[in-house]
Structures are given as C-alpha cells and as structure tokens.
Amino acid sequence: MGTPAAAQRLLLGDGGSHRPTLLANAHHRCLGSHRALPYSADRGKKSVNRQTLDDLKQQIPLMVYLQAHDWQPARPLSRGRWMGLCPLHGDHKPSFLVDPNKDLFFCYGCGRGGDVIRFAELYHQVKFSQALTLLRQWRGAAPLLQEAARFYGMQLHRHNEAIAYLYQRGIRSLELIEHMRIGYAPGGCLRGWLTQLGHSWPALRQAGLVTGVGYDAYVRRIVFPLEDNLYGRSLSTSAPPHRFLPGSKGGLYGWTQARSHPEVILVEGLFDYAVLWQAGFQNVTCSLGTHLNARQFRQLCDGPRTVYVIFDADPNGSGQQAAQCLSQRLRERGIPVRTVSLPDGHDPNSFFVQGGDARQFQSLLEAAHP
Ligand SMILES: [Zn+2]
C-alpha cells in the first residue's frame, strides 16, 4: 500500500490494466467509477460483507468525516466537487479533490484516493480492519461529541467564571475562541440536554460524558474539542487539572494547518497552542502532553520540516528531559530539531501571559540550539 500506482489500481478496481491519466483540469477517472472498490482485506485474510461496508459508508458521508478531521474546502469546482489542501501529505496548494456526491476523494499531489474507509486507513495509518473499527467507533460517538461540544460552546459566554479564566490564561480574542471551538462545562446540565435530543443514557455513559451514577463527567471545566475526544481543563484546584474522555487523544492538534509550514512549533498544552496562535504563529501544533503517541510521532516525521520543541521548563526538569528524548528520536528519523529554552519556570502560555510578545518569542526561536 502507499504507492500512487497501487492506490490508483485500487481505485480503478481493474488490477492496473489501465493507466490513469492525471490531467490538472480534468477530474480523475476514479471519481467517475461506479465499480466496487477492492479493499486491502480482499488480498488477505478475512472478507468483509459488502453490504456492511456500504451501510457504514452511507452512515458516514466522506465530507462530514473530512470536516470533522479539520479539513476545509478551499474552492468549489463544477458538479458540487471541492478542492482543498491534502490532509495526507504536506500540501502547499490545494490538490485534494472531493466529490461529495460520489463520496470519493483523490489527491493530485500524492496520488492517493478512494472512499471514506480508504481515507481512514491512510489518515490514521492503520490497516483496513482497524479503519473499520475506528469508523464504527466514530459513527457511535461522533454525533454525541459534536452535540456536547456545541452545548459547551453555548455555555461559555453564559459563565463569567469561564471567561475570566480564559482571560487570565491569555485567551482574549473571539477569533481564537471560535478557531479552537472553546466551550465550558458548568456541570449538571449536559445529560438533560442530550437526553432531550434523543440520545440514550447508555450511549452517554459509553462516551464517558456522564458518570456511572448519572452526573456530568465534566464539571467546571474549559472544554476543547479534539478530533475524536474532548479535553477538559478544570477551573477548580481540588479536581484533577487535565481530563480526556475515554479513548485516544488523537493526532497532533491543529496539524492540518501546521503541517504545510517548513518549520513547526511543537508545544505540550492547548493553552500554549492558544497564545501562540493568537500571537500570529500559525505553524504551531500541540501534542497534549509530553508523551507523543505513535501517530503523533509519525505525523511529525511525514515530511521535510524543522521541528521546534518547546515543552514546559519544569522545576524538576521533566519537561526538558522529555524534549531531549523526543529530539533524539526525531533526529534518528532525519528530522532537524531545535529545542527552545524558555526563562526558568515558564511555559509558552505563562511567557505570553506575563507580557512576552511575538517578537520576543521569535528571538527565542532564533536562539534555539540544534
Ligand atoms: Zn495528498
């Protein structure tokens, strides 16, 4: 898998007997193909019922899935099709074509294309059967998470304590709040809202949105929607500060936007991400902790770029140690790395909150050592 030729063969479903022509102004022939698409499972072990696959694809329109994973259409084409930056490779000008009517995509840059299942395989870098599992989980939890995120978003401006907290953490622009879809969980009213919308209590429990005894899981927390999860930062000092719902924290935050830059700034927390984005650094991404999961690590390595690692300058040195360790691993993969030193005891968030500005931060980047 992975070579453009193999992908085209899959798309064409003809075993490669035709050579597809890629004309910049013509849509790829795969988008006109009504033939059944062969999947990687066909080559191997266990065959999957075609009807099951068709049902799954019908329930998850490609466009909905793409947009839930941060993809944005850049310009419309004829017949309802769209072009945008490719989420599968470091794309600089839109080369990713989506046909919502046929639920198919094709990238003129990396030559890959297919349906929503193929997209999940490539995007999450998993095998066919795992892609199906991810899609099924997403189908079950995504509408709920989106609804919960919408609810939390509506609550934010109704609670002064939430706005005051954001202000204190340096989050001051409405544009940023909208960009990150920041919300607030006051606690005690999400369950009622979601059940009223017809979601069942077992579904809420399974998604981790309510506890076993029926209370909202997130109480007095600032909420940041992630691709398949919700991160909650507690306002209360008596609760654990950081929480995720059950399941993976997902890939790097804001990666679709960051990845197209030749230099990427990696921070550990969403409040660090927020102040940097607000200060105009659009090449920032966040690993949600100092430990990168396998997918996040692969994302950093998926193209030529320099990575600036800025973890917290913890008094016990754990942030710096994690940064060193990650830098070493990235170098072994041929990725140029700079570790950025902040003044003692600072993280990027506190640096900006305490008066640091974009120009000063830029000089820290320039002073970073390889
Ligand atoms: Zn591509």
Residue 46: per-residue pLDDT: 54
Q: Can you give the pLDDT at residue 39?
A: 54
Give residue 153 CA to ligand 1 midpoint distance, Å.
32
pLDDT tens per residue, the chain (370 residues)?
344 434 333 333 333 333 333 333 334 444 544 444 445 444 444 567 888 899 999 989 999 899 888 788 999 999 999 999 999 988 889 999 999 999 999 999 999 999 999 999 999 889 999 999 989 888 878 889 999 999 999 999 999 999 999 999 999 999 999 999 999 999 989 999 999 998 888 889 888 999 988 899 999 999 999 988 999 999 999 999 999 998 889 899 999 889 989 999 999 999 999 999 999 999 999 999 999 998 899 899 988 999 999 998 877 888 889 999 999 999 999 999 999 988 888 999 999 999 999 999 999 999 998 8
Give the C-alpha separation, 111 to 128, whole Å.
19
Looking at residue 47, its pLDDT comes to: 66
Let me know: does 313 contact 346? Beta carbons within 8 Å.
Answer: yes
Ligand 1 centroid from CA 113, angstroms: 8
Q: Which two tokens stand for residue 38?
A: 């062969």
297 Cα to the center of ligand 1, angstroms: 19
Which residues, 6+ apart, have CB-to-CB distance to 160 below 8 Å?
none
pLDDT of residue 17: 33
| Ion ligand 1, residues whose Cβ is below 5 A away | 86, 88-89, 107, 109-110
**C-beta atoms surrounding 22 within 10 Å:** 13
- Residues 59, 139: Cα–Cα separation, whole Å: 7
Q: Residue 3 Cα, ligand 1 centroid: separation in angstroms?
A: 12
